[in-house]
Amino acid sequence: MLIRTFNPPVRTLMGPGPSDVHPRVLEALSRPTIGHLDPAFITMMDELKELLQYALQTGNAMTMPVSAPGSAGMETCFVNLVEPDDKVIVCQNGVFGGRMKENVERCGGSAVMVENTWGEAIDINKLEDTLKVHGDARIVAMVHAETSTGAQSDVAALVKLAHANDCLTIVDAVTSLGGTPVKVDEWEIDAVYSGSQKCLSCTPGLSPVSFNERALEKVRNRKARVQSWFMDLNLVMGYWGTGAKRAYHHTAPINALYALHEALLILQEEGLENAWARHLKNHLALRAGLEAMGLQFIVKEADRLPQLNAVTIPAGVDDAAVRSRLLNEYNLEIGAGLGALAGKVWRIGLMGHASRAENILLCIGALESVLGDMGAGIKPGVALPAMQQVLNS
Amino acid sequence: MLIRTFNPPVRTLMGPGPSDVHPRVLEALSRPTIGHLDPAFITMMDELKELLQYALQTGNAMTMPVSAPGSAGMETCFVNLVEPDDKVIVCQNGVFGGRMKENVERCGGSAVMVENTWGEAIDINKLEDTLKVHGDARIVAMVHAETSTGAQSDVAALVKLAHANDCLTIVDAVTSLGGTPVKVDEWEIDAVYSGSQKCLSCTPGLSPVSFNERALEKVRNRKARVQSWFMDLNLVMGYWGTGAKRAYHHTAPINALYALHEALLILQEEGLENAWARHLKNHLALRAGLEAMGLQFIVKEADRLPQLNAVTIPAGVDDAAVRSRLLNEYNLEIGAGLGALAGKVWRIGLMGHASRAENILLCIGALESVLGDMGAGIKPGVALPAMQQVLNS
């Protein structure tokens, strides 16, 4: 095979992530590489930490990006907090709750599952019932924004209930961070992880995490060593800790961290509240268009994530063929269903830099065109006016 | 703190890695992000795998970059191959053998250490003696090129001995790959890991790994599940496996993979043998300059890595002050000592794109100037001619 420089096609990314990356972030990525112990880099790390604390709304000193994708951020939370034989309650309402169960078990813990319908928020009453039966559980894990369904749960209330039952909390904020409120300190989340490639609109490959003092106390008082050397917070903090003196742990992904710094700076410039409002307004516009076309959301209105819109694929429509045509004819990526929802839904992301009026116009226009051409029986000519009414409001 | 876009200083990276990144690699890094299941991306992954197979000189189907730095590549090898209660022989001759021990123990295995003097190659007789005593060991782990000392070991012979004793082998080729021969198939290495940021001259954050059939058989026949979800090869291979159908495991670090693709393409264009010869010639030139100046290598000639030159810090010289002046006055990074060698040696890297005549001139000139100014008693005016004699030979 003759291999040449790879020149990727230029796509519009409206799937479940990665999302469109801001040009400033791509530019930051390509700046000259410097050493991971260079004083200039240490200064950048301090700024990055401060920007992350703002994004997560926390004062936690232990706030930093894991040098690997979101699933490694998830694993960082579990390997540090779960000890062998610990009982962990996992609230599942989609694919990622299942991954949490895997993590608990691989740490030698036992997972008690609180099963919720996919596409719905986590039912606090179910958690309460489970906590009554399993009074010896010491951790409750939950997904704030289920990327597989587009449902969000009331993390503040769930955490409060967990604390009342003497449990620490681990929260997945991969898809929520930057798109909808994530208030780590106000909600008293003990450990949280996110991803760079969703509403932060950075390239994939980094996973911001934050641990509060309660969580760190459990890490410090572990009987068993953390099973992962790479993810052991006791070691990682020697590098990401405060002060000028940093101990080498692993070689940090220098350029990826430049990019995250820039992405978080863009978020800070816009302001969190403005970013949340933008995500909501664009969601409402997209929704108007999709519903006018006749497509149905799978999540009820109160639980919907503005940044991830899961809609049912119309009966008789070839899922893969539609996504292929969107990609090939319009360079537009939307997401397929995942897990139990594979083949049943499309997931349309409006995340970070991808949450823009021009993207919504493209998405609705392309969907209307392709579905109409394929005889899917959608209503023509009504989506655009419905959507524009919201955008102009 | 007022935070602005981070504009890194422009350094010449002659430490133990990251090394100077080729402009083509930085350019590749900033190309438009596409989805991790985009057909165009799958094609790029196939090419990347082929380029990696060439760099590692292997036909192993299970060859791919772990989506995290070299230490996660190391952990990927250990968590997949070591089961609880497995006995693993670790040959240590520097910092990274110690990290291997940590990995074995965190996997529930027991590590039998073969201790070698730091700065020397691994002594095959010591391994042989250990194998006689520990006939129940099933894995032997070793570092090919010790980044902490600059010594290389005879992996081909060590692997042969391990196989004769019914042991699988895990080899650290982080610093060797691309700079000195690493012949995975010819040497019959069972599992190997490397890093993107050394002689491949890519940005840090990725770790190429390769497993042969013998190693995969052990992974497939494990009694215990792999303790890491993120690093479980059974899962990762669903995404990196062959064929057009890829299952989502984690979101791949898209842009970092563009960069590795380009870095490996540059290596292929140069040709492995030419790259090895270049590293050797530039090492000889640097050596001539350093020795003319009066600096002593800590590794004996036969065991020296051309890409990592560890020299003793002259008596009475302030280690940190010299490195600071090189950085601040010449934008030149050289490496400090690590572990037991901290404060005793400097590590001068000539890795990948950093292994160039102009870098050697800069390094020797800057060192001569700073050491002379600090009254270190080095011989002035002789380094440059000695070095140029080699470069012009």
CA distance A314 to A321: 13
- Put simply, the answer to whether B261 touches A333 (Cβ < 8 Å) is no
Mutation site, A6, A175, A225, A227, interface B, largest B CB count within 10 A: A6
Nearest to A106 among B69, B203, B227 (CB): B227
Per-residue pLDDT at A327 exceeds 80:
yes
A93 with A143: CB under 8 angstroms? yes
Chain B nearest CA to A40, separation (Å)? 7
Question: Directed axis angle between helix B272-293 and helix B383-391, to 10°?
Answer: 160
Residue B3, helix vs strand vs coil:
coil
pLDDT per position as a tens digit, A172-187: 999 999 999 999 999 9
Contacts of A15 in chain B (CB under 8 A): 35
- pLDDT, chain B, mean: 96
Helices (H), A113-173: 124-133, 155-164
Nearest to A33 among B21, B32, B195 (CB): B21
Chain B nearest CA to A260, separation (Å)? 11
Nearest to B230 among A1, A68, A255 (CB): A68
pLDDT of residue B133: 98
- Put simply, the answer to whether B3 touches A226 (Cβ < 8 Å) is no
Q: In this prediction, what percent of chain A has a pLDDT beyond 90?
A: 94
Residue in A closest to B27 by C-alpha:
A30
Our separate counts of H helices and E strands in chain A read 13, 13
A130 with A309: CB under 8 angstroms? no
In this structure, chain A runs to a length of 393
pLDDT of residue A243: 58
Nearest to A30 among B27, B38, B70 (CB): B27
pLDDT per position as a tens digit, B58-94: 999 999 999 999 999 999 999 999 999 999 999 999 9
Chain B nearest CA to A238, separation (Å)? 15
Chain A nearest CA to B322, separation (Å)? 14
B307 with B299: CB under 8 angstroms? no
ipTM: 0.97
Contacts of A99 (CB under 8 A, 6+ apart): A71, A74, B229
Chain A nearest CA to B134, separation (Å)? 25
Nearest to B228 among A27, A51, A106 (CB): A106
Residue in A closest to B1 by C-alpha:
A47
Residue that has been written with the tokens 């760099």 in this structure? B55
- Put simply, the answer to whether B106 touches A229 (Cβ < 8 Å) is yes
pLDDT of residue B241: 81
CA distance B350 to B249: 36
A68 with B72: CB under 8 angstroms? yes
Average pLDDT over residues A361-377: 94
A314 with A392: CB under 8 angstroms? no
Residue in B closest to A268 by C-alpha:
B3
Nearest to B32 among A8, A33, A69 (CB): A8
- Put simply, the answer to whether B203 touches A33 (Cβ < 8 Å) is yes
pLDDT of residue A97: 95
pLDDT per position as a tens digit, A82-94: 999 999 999 999 9
Residue in A closest to B36 by C-alpha:
A18
Q: What is the number of other CB atoms lying within 10 angstroms of the CB of residue A388?
A: 17
Contacts of B196 (CB under 8 A, 6+ apart): B65, B70, B202, B203, B204, B205, B206, B207, B208, B256, B259, B260, B263
Per-residue pLDDT at B135 exceeds 90:
yes
Residue in A closest to B258 by C-alpha:
A6
Per-residue pLDDT at B196 exceeds 80:
yes
pLDDT of residue A242: 62
- Put simply, the answer to whether A256 touches B205 (Cβ < 8 Å) is yes
- Put simply, the answer to whether B21 touches A6 (Cβ < 8 Å) is no
Contacts of A26 in chain B (CB under 8 A): 30-33, 255
pLDDT per position as a tens digit, A58-110: 999 999 999 999 999 999 999 999 999 999 999 999 999 999 999 999 999 99
Per-residue pLDDT at A244 exceeds 60:
no
Mutation site, B251, B332, B338, interface A, largest A CB count within 10 A: B251
Q: Which residues face B210 on adjacent strands?
A: B63, B192
Residue in A closest to B228 by C-alpha:
A106
- Cα separation values, B160 from A28, B128, B217, Å: 46, 11, 19
Sketch out chain B's domains with CATH numbers: 23-268 (3.40.640.10), 272-391 (3.90.1150.10)
Q: In this prediction, what percent of chain B has a pLDDT beyond 90?
A: 94
- Put simply, the answer to whether A71 touches B229 (Cβ < 8 Å) is yes
pLDDT of residue A74: 98
A15: closest CA among B191, B83, B288, B38? Answer: B38
Contacts of B32 in chain A (CB under 8 A): 8-11, 21, 26
pLDDT per position as a tens digit, B233-243: 999 988 998 65
B36 with B254: CB under 8 angstroms? yes
Residue in B closest to A35 by C-alpha:
B18
pLDDT per position as a tens digit, B203-224: 999 999 999 999 999 999 999 9
pLDDT of residue B9: 98
CA B63 to chain centroid, in Å, comes to 16
Contacts of B277 (CB under 8 A, 6+ apart): none
Question: Directed axis angle between helix A155-164 and helix A124-133, to 10°?
Answer: 20
pLDDT of residue B379: 85
Contacts of A18 in chain B (CB under 8 A): 33-36, 251, 254
Average pLDDT over residues A184-197: 98
* Pairing relationship of beta strands A345-349 and A308-312 according to DSSP bridges: antiparallel
Contacts of B317 (CB under 8 A, 6+ apart): B371, B374, B376
- Which runs of E-coded beta strand occur in chain B? 12-14, 62-66, 87-92, 110-115, 139-143, 145-146, 151-152, 168-172, 191-193, 207-211, 308-312, 332-336, 345-349
pLDDT of residue B377: 84
Chain A nearest CA to B90, separation (Å)? 16
- Please report which confidence band the pLDDT of residue A141 belongs to, taking 50, 70 and 90 as the band edges: very high
- Cα separation values, B186 from B146, B155, B190, B212, Å: 21, 11, 11, 12
- Put simply, the answer to whether B258 touches A6 (Cβ < 8 Å) is yes
Residue that has been written with the tokens 């240590």 in this structure? B92
Our CA angle for B229, B231, B236, nearest 5°, is 90
B98 with B116: CB under 8 angstroms? no
- Put simply, the answer to whether A32 touches B50 (Cβ < 8 Å) is no
Integer Rg of chain A from CA = 21
A389: closest CA among A296, A308, A291? Answer: A291
Contacts of A129 (CB under 8 A, 6+ apart): none
Contacts of A28 in chain B (CB under 8 A): 5-6
CA distance A24 to B5: 9
Per-residue pLDDT at B321 exceeds 80:
yes
